[in-house]
Structure 1
Amino acid sequence: MISIIMPAKNEAEGLRGLLPKLRARFPDAEVIVVDDGSTDDTASVCAEAGVVCLSSPYSMGNGAAIKRGTRAATGDILVFMDADGQHDPALIPQLLARLDQGYDMVVGARGSDGQASLHRGLANGLYNRLASWMTGHKVADLTSGFRAVRADKFREFLHLLPNGFSYPTTSTMAFFRSAYPVAYEPIPVYQRVGTTSHIRPFRDGIRFLLIIFKIATLYSPLKLFVPASFGFFGLGLGYYLWTFSTVGRFTNMSALLFSAAVIIFLIGLVSEQITNLTYRRDG
C-alpha cells in the first residue's frame, strides 16, 4: 500500500481540485494531509474528500508536517507531493515504476521551465552542483518536494529532518550517505493554485545553503575540512616565504596559520569518525 502525504498551509483552493483526482486515480491509497496551522478551509475540504487530515494548532513548518505525516502513515511506500496543484497525480506511477527497478528513493526532477522564477532556478542550480560535489553523485533536483520513498528507509532519518523548509535536501543527502539508491524522474511542474509560495527566496536561500553545509559535515566532513585546512596551510606557507624573504625570520602569524591548518584537519578527522558512527548499521 502507498501513503500519499501532503503538507498544507492555507491550500484549500488547491486541495479542492487535487484531492478528487487522487481519490479517483488511487482509490486504495492512504491520503494524508497535514494541516500546518491553516486559517482557511483546508480541514473542511479534507473532510469533504474523505481523507485523513492532521491539524496543528499553529504552524510548525514544512519539515515538521512531513515528519507528522510520516509517523502517521501505514503504507510501505510514501509519496510526498505539494498540495498547491503543482504536482500532477498522474505522474505518481512513473515514480513508483522507478522504485520497482531497485531504487529506495525516486525524486521528481524539475526542468528549467519548472522553476518558479529565474533567481529560484539559478539558486537551485547552485544547490544541485554543491550537493553533487559533496555526495559524489549527480543531484538533478535537490529541493523537489515530489518524491516516492520506501517508508522504512525514510524513517531512519526523521530525526535529521529540519522543522522548516528543505526536508528534501536533508533526506536526499542522507540517502546518498547511507548508500540507498536514488533516482531522478523528469517531471513537468504546473502553476500553483491559490496564494503565493510560502518560500521567501533570500531568507530560505540562505537557509538552504546552511543546511547543505550542515548536512555536509554529517555526510562527508573531510570534503569541507580538508580544503579549509590546505587553505590555511597555503596562507601560512605563503606568508612565511614572504616574511623570510623580506625580514629573514619566521613570524608568529605564520605559526598561527600553520597551527590553524593542523587543528582544522584534526577536527575533520574527528568529525569523519563521528559520521561513520552515526551511519553505522548493526543489523
Structure 2
Amino acid sequence: MRSNPTGRQLRFGAELRKLRERAGLTATEAGQLMGIKQTQVSNTEAGRVGVSAERVRTLACHYDCSDKALVEALSDMTTERSRGWWEEYREILPSGLIDLAEMEHHATRLRAGITAHIPGLLQIHDHAREVIRQVVPELSPPDIEHRLSFRIKRQTVLYKDSPTPYQAVIHEAALRMQFGGPAVTRKQLQHILDMGERAHITVQVIPFAAGAYPGSGQSILYAHGPVPQLDTVHLDQSHGSALIDAEAQLDKYRVLLERMEATALTPNASRDLIHAIVQDL
C-alpha cells in the first residue's frame, strides 16, 4: 500500500470515486458488486493502492459509465509502471513541484497565462536562478541549485521526440522585468523568440496598451489530458502550488485563457514587441 500517493495517483482515485458517486453507489455497495471489501474500494479511491486496467473497465460497467474515451484514458493510467525523472527530487523538494512535473509530463497540450513572470518552461538558466533566489523564506544555495536543476529538467517536455504542444500568453510586464540585469534579460528574450519558432510552441504577448483583461492577477498553467475530464489547472501561489480539477473550475479557467489569448497580440506582432523590448535594453 502506498503511504504517500502522487498527485496523479490521487487524481486517478478521485476520478473513480466520481464515477461511483454518479452511479449513486456507496463504497460498500461497490465492493459488494466487485466481490471485494469496502476498504479496498476506499483505498483505491484514495490512491493508496493500484488496480488493473481490467478492474477499471469492470468498475465502469458496474457504474453504468458509457463514456468510452474516459474509461480508456483511466485504464491507460493503470499501465504506467516506470518512475519519472522527478522522483529523484521527491525527498528534497515540495510535493507540489513534483506533482507539477508529473502533470506536465503526461499532458497532451499545455497552455500558460502569465502576468509577472516568464513561464518556467521558457526560462533560461541564469534567469531562473534569479527568480528562485527571490523565494520567501530565503533558500540555501544547495536548495536553490536543486530547484534550478528541477526547473530546467521540466523543460524536457518541449524537447522530446514528440514534444508537447505549448502555448504561452505572457504580459509585457514580465518581459520588461530585468532578472539578472540587461545582459541576462536579452538572452532570456532571445530564447523566447527562438522557442517561438518551433512548430509546437506559440508565444503571444499582452501589451500594456491592452489594459485590463480577465485573469490578469493570476499565473495559470492548463494541462490538457487525453479527455477533457482529466484536464488539470496548476496555480502558482506564494504559499505553494495548487492543482484544480473540478469541472466547474476547469470551465472557468478555459474561458479565462481563451480571453487572455484573444486579448494578446498575434504571434508575429508579439515577436515584433519582444524585439522592440530587446532594443530598449
Please give the TM-score of this superposition, normalised by the length of structure 2. Answer: 0.28
Please give the TM-score of this superposition, normalised by the length of structure 1. Answer: 0.27
